[in-house]
Structure 1
Amino acid sequence: MFERYLAALEYPAEGGINIDNPKEFRNIVLWLEDQKIRHYTIEDRANLRKVGSSDEWDPAYVKYKLDLKFPTDLKSKSEELTWLFLYAIKLEYSDNADRYRPVTAARKLDEEKKATAAPEIKSTNPFDNIDCELVGLVLSLEGGC
């Protein structure tokens, strides 16, 4: 479900994530904060690092959502994680705007087509370049003289 976001953010694990597993959910939130969002200082992330303890992590996550000004209408972990991914992508883009600005959907599609398209074959046969209409004109002129 989140594969495109994970790929865009260069998440190191393959195979996606299971947000129904509390530890995986906590780890992805921590990874986003550590690597992409960086709202807190390293010291302030201490309680978010306690992914094994819901007694400490859950209140830290509630505070984190308030500090990041999460929209209040998000009702599920999936919606919260989607918001976090999009926020992280926005920050990643703004940090590296010069790198991403020339990348457009059309250019990316062209590059993908070139990478997967059959190789272009250039003919070395000189007869391939003959203009048949011109040859017909020359022959008809020679025949009329």
Structure 2
Amino acid sequence: MICTIRKKFQELVICWKIRKYVHYKIEDRGALRKTSDISSWQRAFSKYLDDLSCPHSDRTISPVTTDWLLGLAVRLVYGENPQRYRKCTRQTSSTSKDVAPSSNPLDSLDFDDEAMKAGITTLATLLQIPPHHDHKEVLK
């Protein structure tokens, strides 16, 4: 299972690096393509994260690294054509006038309470969810 996860992660990095975010010259791209030797791939991946100025100290295949790389991908794709994505609107049920009172106990929680924030942080750590400055995003 771990080998499969590692292979999929390597494929994600290779696809991202080659097709979308070309950070290296062609002659410098080979190290990340050599996925059979995990130790040399890990060194190349760590160097790649350093070259991208990844702010996290974790240089392994982890949720933090994956989240950061995917976030970078989204930022770069959005940056290519921000007008395309600004046209999207969020539809919520709160605009409807006929909203029934909620029977969901979660609706009565105060998500800005300090104890709630601490609980969210603790739960995220246990579940290995990457940190984020907005506790509500971590909860999502």
C-alpha separation in 1, matches of 2:43 and 2:57: 19
Whether 1:93 and 2:78 are equivalent positions in the alignment is: yes
Where structure 2 has 5 or more consecutive residues not aligned to the other structure, the ranges are 94-140
Q: TM-score, normalised by structure 2?
A: 0.55
Structure 1 residue aligned with 2:51: 67
- CA separation in 1, counterparts of 2:25 and 2:66? 21
Output the aligned Cα RMSD: 2.5
TM-score by length of 1: 0.54
Identical aligned residues as a percent? 33
Corresponding residue for 2:38? 54
The residue identity in structure 1 corresponding to 2:38 is S
Report deviation, 1:26: 1.0
- Unaligned 5+ residue runs, structure 1? 1-17, 111-145
Moved over 3 A (4+): 73-76
**What is the match of residue 102 of structure 1?**
87
The Cα of 1:92 is off from its aligned counterpart by 0.2
Q: Which structure has the larger Rg? A: 1
Deviations 1:50-72 (Å, cap 9, x if unpaired)? 11221321111010010011113
Q: Is the 8 A contact 1:47 1:56 kept in 2?
A: yes
The answer as to whether partners of 2:31 and 2:40 remain within 8 angstroms in 1 is: yes
Q: In the alignment, residue 98 of structure 1 is paired with which amino acid?
A: Q
